[in-house]
Amino acid sequence: MRAPLVLASASPRRRELLAQLGVTFEVITADVPEVPQPGEPAATFARRVACDKAAMVARRCPGRCVLGADTVVVVDGEILGKPIDRADARRMLRRLSGRMHQVLTAVAFMDAAGGCDEILVESGVEFRPLSASDIEAYLDTDEPFDKAGAYGVQGYARRFVVRVDGSLSNVIGLPLDEVTDLLRRHLPATVPAP
């Protein structure tokens, strides 16, 4: 029997987070370009990419419900995506050093009839000042290279974080409380009772 929900994501972190809800799902990745358009605000960009991921997988899985998500890191209005190389990751970590930044995750739920419901969750993250050796040691872990903003709060970078304002699971890649509410609205039978 097919799972009632498809997660349109290659992120192992999103898989782990969604599994924490006790929801049965299948993973089908969506190869969607994650490039902001000129002048596109971060929230609009995240929503667009999440919807594009859900729509792409929904086209491949007609009649099924699909959950797509995209997480972006924003500092001073600049979207920090996944770094293209070590130098780019270093630049991002220097930008985040000693500062507060925002992490936005957009989640799009596409129902079996093609209707779409979406949410956007924002958390604030403050980093302590990072030394050059902190940054280089972190880059040596290879952890930053598949993550928005070049860091994973659930990994080695947790030692950089002074505080998180809002949802920690949002910073990791999927805001669990809000996704639970979304699924209860659209697929109530899939979410186990608390």
Taking only the tens place, the pLDDT of each residue in 93-124 is 999 999 999 999 999 999 988 889 999 999 99
Greatest CA separation found in the chain? 52
Rounded-to-integer distance, Cα 101 and Cα 76, Å: 8
> Could you report the per-residue pLDDT of 130-166, keeping only the tens digit for each?
999 999 999 999 999 999 999 999 999 999 999 999 9
Query: What is the average per-residue pLDDT within 54-83?
Result: 94
User: Domains in the chain, ordered, with CATH?
Assistant: 5-190 (3.90.950.10)
> What's at 86, amino acid-wise?
R
User: Residues 22-59: pLDDT tens digits?
Assistant: 999 999 999 899 899 999 999 999 999 999 999 999 99
Task: Please indicate, yes or no, whether the overall pTM of this predicted structure exceeds 0.85.
Answer: yes
Please calculate the CA angle 7-15-64 and round it to the nearest 5 degrees. Answer: 15
70 is catalytic: yes
Q: Which of 31, 70, 88, 165 is catalytic?
A: 70
